[in-house]
């Protein structure tokens, strides 16, 4: 059975400041590094076959801790980068309201659509299934991409909730259907 563990990267300074990150290349902060180490220790308890990561720093750094602990080389794939935030990247909600007004979400600010995010995420998943059928795969990515994609894969079991930093969500392929058996789990941080 094919199993894919989707990991959201560790925390960054912009997460703490509530700045839209999107495709901006922001590194982990110290808490993000510590949490990534805890996650890597959790993943070390299982056997994994493949490790993929977004090429953005925050995901690469998270994946590096995992790679060291589980003994897998990292394969980078640009299709699993975060949804582009367009003109809002680097801004906070109050800054967006000041610049574009209360209805900023209704403006064309070059923000990537959920449909675009799902399209590239599904293309990635199709390739994972083709290349690694029956394997256990770790994918380090980003909150919006993971949440949009998981809702597409298993809309019955995936809630619309904020993805926590270093959270683990697992999907399994059974009878040609993806099922999310674990969602947004951070027990390694307790």
Predicted pLDDT of residue 159: 83
CA distances from 81 to 24, 106, 142 (A): 10, 24, 7
User: Catalytic annotation on 82?
Assistant: yes
Contact 34, 99 (CB under 8 A): no
10 carries a ligand binding annotation:
yes
Distance CA 155, CA 140 (A): 21
27 carries a ligand binding annotation:
no
Sequence-distant contacts of 10-13: CB under 8 A, at least 24 apart: 10/34, 10/35, 10/36, 10/39, 10/58, 10/61, 10/62, 10/165, 10/166, 11/35, 11/165, 11/166, 12/58
Distance CA 103, CA 114 (A): 19
Q: Where exactly are the structural domains of the chain?
A: 3-189
| pTM, entire model | 0.96
Predicted pLDDT of residue 157: 86
The tens place of each residue's pLDDT in the chain, 190 residues long, gives 899 999 999 999 999 999 999 999 999 999 999 999 999 999 999 999 999 999 999 999 999 999 999 999 999 999 999 999 999 999 999 999 999 999 999 999 999 999 999 999 999 999 999 999 999 999 999 999 999 999 999 998 898 889 999 999 999 999 889 999 999 999 999 8
90 carries a ligand binding annotation:
no
- The b/e string for 95-113 (b: 16+ C-beta within 10 A; e otherwise) is ebeeebeeebeeeebebbe
User: Catalytic annotation on 9?
Assistant: yes
184 carries a ligand binding annotation:
no
8 carries a ligand binding annotation:
yes
- From the list 44, 82, 98, 152, the catalytic residue is 82
- The one-character DSSP state at 92 is -
Distance between terminal CA atoms of the chain?
29
9 carries a ligand binding annotation:
yes
Contact 123, 132 (CB under 8 A): no
* Number of neighbours of residue 156 by Cβ within 10 angstroms: 7
Predicted pLDDT of residue 126: 96
- From the list 9, 142, 148, 188, the catalytic residue is 9
User: Residue 40: which region, alpha, beta or left (left: phi > 0; alpha: psi -120 to 50)?
Assistant: alpha
- 3-189: CATH homologous superfamily? Phosphoglycerate mutase-like (3.40.50.1240)
């Amino acid at each position: 059975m094919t199993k894919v563990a989707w990991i959201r990267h560790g925390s960054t300074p912009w997460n703490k400041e509530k700045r839209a990150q999107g495709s901006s290349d922001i590194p982990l902060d110290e808490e993000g590094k510590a949490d990534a180490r805890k996650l890597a220790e959790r993943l070390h308890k299982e056997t994994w076959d493949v490790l993929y990561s977004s090429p953005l720093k925050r995901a690469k750094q998270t994946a590096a801790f995992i790679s060291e602990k589980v003994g897998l080389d990292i394969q980078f794939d640009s299709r699993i980068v975060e949804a582009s935030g367009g003109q809002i990247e680097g801004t906070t909600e109050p800054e967006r309201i000041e610049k574009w007004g209360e209805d900023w979400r209704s403006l064309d600010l070059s923000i990537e659509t959920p449909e675009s995010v799902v399209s590239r995420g599904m293309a990635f998943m199709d390739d994972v299934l083709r290349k690694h059928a029956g394997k256990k795969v770790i994918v380090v990515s980003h909150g919006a991409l993971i949440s949009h994609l998981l809702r597409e894969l298993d809309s019955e079991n995936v809630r619309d909730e904020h993805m926590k930093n270093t959270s683990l969500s697992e999907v399994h392929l059974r009878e040609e259907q993806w099922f999310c058996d674990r969602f947004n789990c951070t027990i390694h941080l307790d």
